[in-house]
C-alpha cells in the first residue's frame, strides 16, 4: 500500500511563511505528478500547484509569485513553500500524487493517492 503524509501546517500571521511537506511511502515503483490542493470551509477542493516528475510546475493564478512547489524524487517528497500568506489562503491543504505501483513482476499501474490534509490558518 501507499501512504502520503503531510506536515508543516499551522497558524501564521498575514505576510508570513509556511513550508508544507508531503512524503510518500509504501510499495512505490515511481511517482508521476505530485500536487497540492486546498479546500476552504464551504468550498470545493481546488488545485494550488502541481509538479511533474521532470520538474515542470504549474500554479493557480491566486498563488503565482507567492508559492513555490518542489520535489525530492530520491525521498518521494513534495514541498510547498508559501510566502506572503493572506487570510484567503486559509484552508485544509491536501497532497496528491499519481503513484505507479508494481502489480506483477512485469506489470505496473498508476493510482491516485491523497494525504490526510493539513490545516493552514492565516490570521492576525
pLDDT in tens, 67-80: 999 999 999 999 99
pLDDT in tens, 11-52: 999 999 999 999 999 999 999 999 999 999 999 999 999 999
Instruction: List the Cα angle 51/48/67 in 5-degree steps.
Output: 80
Task: Calculate the dihedral angle through the C-alpha atoms of 70, 22, 33, 88, rounding to the nearest 10 degrees.
Answer: -70
Q: Tell me, what's the pLDDT at 1?
A: 87
Q: Using CB atoms within 10 A of its CB, is residue 49 exposed (0-12), middle (13-18) or buried (19+)?
A: buried
- CB neighbours (10 Å) of residue 2? 16
Cα separation, 81 vs 99, in Å, equals 22
pLDDT for residue 105 is more than 90: no
The share of the chain scoring above pLDDT 70, in percent, equals 100
Average pLDDT over the chain reads 96
Amino acid at each position: 500500500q501507499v501512504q502520503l503524509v503531510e506536515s508543516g501546517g499551522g497558524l501564521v500571521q498575514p505576510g508570513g511563511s509556511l513550508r508544507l511537506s508531503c512524503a510518500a511511502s509504501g510499495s512505490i515503483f515511481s511517482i508521476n505528478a505530485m500536487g497540492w490542493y486546498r479546500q476552504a470551509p464551504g468550498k470545493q477542493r481546488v488545485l494550488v500547484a502541481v509538479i511533474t516528475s521532470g520538474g515542470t510546475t504549474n500554479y493557480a493564478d491566486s498563488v503565482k509569485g507567492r508559492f513555490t512547489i518542489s520535489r525530492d524524487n530520491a525521498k518521494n517528497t513534495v514541498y510547498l513553500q508559501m510566502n506572503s500568506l493572506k487570510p484567503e489562503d486559509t484552508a485544509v491543504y491536501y497532497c496528491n500524487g499519481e503513484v505507479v505501483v508494481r502489480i506483477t513482476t512485469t506489470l505496473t499501474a498508476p493510482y491516485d493517492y491523497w494525504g490526510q490534509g493539513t490545516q493552514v490558518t492565516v490570521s492576525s
